[in-house]
Chain A
Amino acid sequence: MLECRALTCGYQGAQVLHGVDLRVGPGEVLMILGANGAGKTTLLRAVSGMLPVTGEVLLEGRRVTNTPTQALVRMGVAHVPQGRGTFQQFTVEENLLLGAATLRSAERGEIPARLAQVFELFPRLAERLHQQASTMSGGEQQMLAIARALMSRPKLLLLDEPSLGLAPQVTKEVFQTLRSLKKEGRISMLVVEQNAHLSLELADRVAVLETGRTVLEGTPTQLSGDPALRDAYLGGALR
C-alpha cells in the first residue's frame, strides 16, 4: 500500500528525517514508536505531502513523492493530524461534509451512505450533528477527526497520536473503534502513538524511529520480547 525509501526531510535548515524506510501492506497496521523529537509527526507530514522530501514515497506502487496534500487525499490517503485538525467553529455535520470534499459532484449521492457508515462507528456524532466542534469533549473531537477522515473512504489512514490528551477510558473507546475498522480489512493504517499498550494490540507490525531513522522493525511480540527496547520505548507497559 505505502512504501517509503530513504525518505529525508526537514524544516528550514534542520534535517529531521535522515533516510526512513518503511512499508505498510494492504489492510495492515504499522505503528511508529519513538521518543519525543524522533521525527514521528514529521514522518506523517512527509508522507502526506505537507513537507518537501527527498527519497521516494510509493502509494500502491505509484511514485507520489512531493505530490500536493490535496491530490494525495484524492488518491486515498487520509491524515488525522496531531491536535486533530477539526474545524473548530464548524458544526459536526459541516466537518463531516468537508471530509467528503474530494467527491465529485456526480458522486455526491454517496454522502448519506457514508455518513450512515461513520455514525455506525461513532454513534455519538449522530446525536451531535448540529453542535459546534469546539463545544465537544476531547474524545468526541478525536472521534470527529477520525470520522471526517473516513468520509473520504481512504485506503490509507495516517493517525498522529490519537490518544493525546484523552482520558484512559475514552482512549480505549477510540482504539476499540480502530480495531473494528481494521477487522473490516479495507484500510491500512500508519499510526504514531505514545500509548504503547493499546497500540500493540492494534498493530500488525511496529517500527522504531530514532533521531530520524528507522532502527528496528518487527511484530509486537518480537519487539516486546526485547528488554532494552521495552525499557526505552514501552515504559515497561508490557511487564
Chain B
Amino acid sequence: MTAFLQQIFSGVATGAIYASIGIALVLIFRSTGIANFAQGEMAMFSTYIAWQLSVWGIPLAVAALGGVVFGVALGILTERFVVRRAETGPHLNAVILTFGLFLIFNQSAAVIWHSTSQRFPSLVADHMWKVAGIHVSSGLLLMLAVLVVESAGIYVLLQRTRIGLWMRASAANPESAALVGIDVQKVLMLGWGLAGGFGAIGGILIASRTFLEPNMMSGVLLYAFAAIVLGGLTSVFGAVVGGLSIGVLENLVGTYVSALGPDLKAVVPLAVVVLVLLVRPTGLFGVPERARV
C-alpha cells in the first residue's frame, strides 16, 4: 500500500511538469487554435539560457528568473515575427510553421551548447522527508508548489483582471473583441509571451530533476499534449487535471503492468489520446466548438 501511494505521489510530481507545459499549450491553442509543437523546444532553449546565466556566476534564482523572462520574450517575438504571418491562412500552415520552429530551436541549442547533457543545479536544497511511509523530496514539493501558484495565478489573471477579460474575449470572439476596441493582435502576442514564460518554468523544473539537453522535451511534449487532450484543449484547469492524471497513470502502468514496464510506458499517453478522441472528443473540461452557419 505504501509503495502504491509512493507511486501515486511521484506520478503527481511528474504530472506537475506535464501540466505546466500543458498550460502553455492551452494558452496558445485557445486564443489562436494553433497546436504549438515548438512549445517544448522553446522551453528547452529558455532553460539553457537560465543554465548559461548560472554558469556565468549569476545566482541560480536570478538565472532561473532570467530564463523565464527570456521565455516570455521568445514567445512574444515568435508571435510577432513568425506566427503572425500564418495566422490568417489555413491552420495547417501555422502548425507546420511550429514544426519548423521546433527544428530551429532544437538544432540551434545543439550547435550553441552541444548535444551532451548538462547537470542543471537543483533549485532547492535536497532534503527528504518521510510522511506516513512515503518519501517526499524537497524537489517534488517545489514542483507541486510551483504548479499550485501557476494555476492560481492564471486563474486570477483570466477571471479577475481586465487584461484577462480581454484575453478571454479575444479567444472567444476576435471580431467582437476588435469591435469593443481591444487590440486582438497585441493580446495574442501577450498570450504567446505568457505561454513562453510558463513553458520556461516547466523546462527549468524538468532540467533540475533530470538533466539538460536539446532533446529533453520531446517526450514531455507528447505527454503534455496527451494531458490537454484529456483535459479538453481549451481549459487551463483541464490541463492541470489532465497532466496530473497522465503522470499518475504513467507511473502506475510502468510499475504494475509488467508487460509494458518502464520502457514501453510511453504507450500510455498515446492510448489516452486515442481513447479520449473516440469516447469524449471534447475531453473532460472542453467546450464543444459551435460553428455558426
Chain A positions near chain B (C-beta within 8 angstroms): 48, 50, 68-70, 73-74, 78-79, 81, 83, 85-90, 94, 97-99, 101-102, 148, 152
Closest 6 CB pairs of A and B: A73-B181, A102-B181, A85-B176, A69-B178, A101-B180, A70-B181
Which residues of B sit under 8 angstroms from A102, Cβ to Cβ? 180-181
Which residues of B sit under 8 angstroms from A87, Cβ to Cβ? 169, 172-173, 176
A83 B180 Cβ-Cβ under 8 A: no
18 contacts between A and B (CB under 8 A): A50-B178, A68-B178, A68-B183, A70-B178, A73-B180, A73-B181, A78-B179, A85-B175, A85-B179, A90-B169, A90-B172, A94-B165, A98-B165, A98-B180, A98-B182, A101-B166, A102-B180, A148-B180
Chain B positions near chain A (C-beta within 8 angstroms): 162, 165-166, 168-169, 172-173, 175-184, 287, 292
| Consensus secondary structure, chain B interface | helix
Min CB distance A116 to B, Å, is 19
Complex alpha-carbon distance, A142 and B180, angstroms: 15
Min CB distance B231 to A, Å, is 18
B168 A90 Cβ-Cβ under 8 A: yes
Complex alpha-carbon distance, A162 and B49, angstroms: 55
A69 B179 Cβ-Cβ under 8 A: yes
Closest partner residue, chain A, to B177 (CB atom) = A98
B181 A152 Cβ-Cβ under 8 A: yes
Closest partner residue, chain A, to B175 (CB atom) = A85
B176 A86 Cβ-Cβ under 8 A: yes
Complex alpha-carbon distance, A148 and B182, angstroms: 13
Assuming the contacts A50-B178, A85-B176, A87-B176, asked whether A98 and B183 have C-beta atoms less than 8 A apart, the reply is no
Which residues of B sit under 8 angstroms from A101, Cβ to Cβ? 162, 166, 169, 180-182
B292 A83 Cβ-Cβ under 8 A: yes
What 15 new A-B contacts, CB under 8 Å, besides A89-B287, A98-B177, A101-B181?
Answer: A70-B178, A70-B181, A70-B182, A70-B184, A73-B178, A73-B179, A81-B175, A85-B173, A89-B172, A90-B169, A94-B165, A98-B165, A101-B169, A102-B180, A102-B181
From B169, B173, B175, B180, A50 is in contact (CB under 8 Å) with B175
Query: What is the count of residue pairs linking A and B with beta-carbon distances less than 8 angstroms?
Result: 60
Complex alpha-carbon distance, A79 and B179, angstroms: 6
Min CB distance A210 to B, Å, is 27
Complex alpha-carbon distance, A199 and B222, angstroms: 58
Query: Most A CB atoms within 10 A — which of B175, B176, B182, B183?
Result: B176
Closest partner residue, chain A, to B186 (CB atom) = A70
Complex alpha-carbon distance, A30 and B9, angstroms: 68
Min CB distance B182 to A, Å, is 5
Complex alpha-carbon distance, A73 and B176, angstroms: 12
Min CB distance A12 to B, Å, is 12
Complex alpha-carbon distance, A13 and B287, angstroms: 36
Complex alpha-carbon distance, A97 and B183, angstroms: 16
Which residues of B sit under 8 angstroms from A83, Cβ to Cβ? 292
Min CB distance B17 to A, Å, is 30
B292 A70 Cβ-Cβ under 8 A: no
Closest partner residue, chain A, to B166 (CB atom) = A101
A152 B176 Cβ-Cβ under 8 A: no
Complex alpha-carbon distance, A73 and B182, angstroms: 9
Min CB distance B150 to A, Å, is 24
Query: Most A CB atoms within 10 A — which of B175, B177, B179, B182?
Result: B179
Complex alpha-carbon distance, A97 and B287, angstroms: 23
Closest partner residue, chain B, to A84 (CB atom) = B176
Which residues of B sit under 8 angstroms from A74, Cβ to Cβ? 181
Complex alpha-carbon distance, A223 and B292, angstroms: 36
Complex alpha-carbon distance, A68 and B180, angstroms: 12
Closest partner residue, chain B, to A85 (CB atom) = B176
Min CB distance B269 to A, Å, is 29
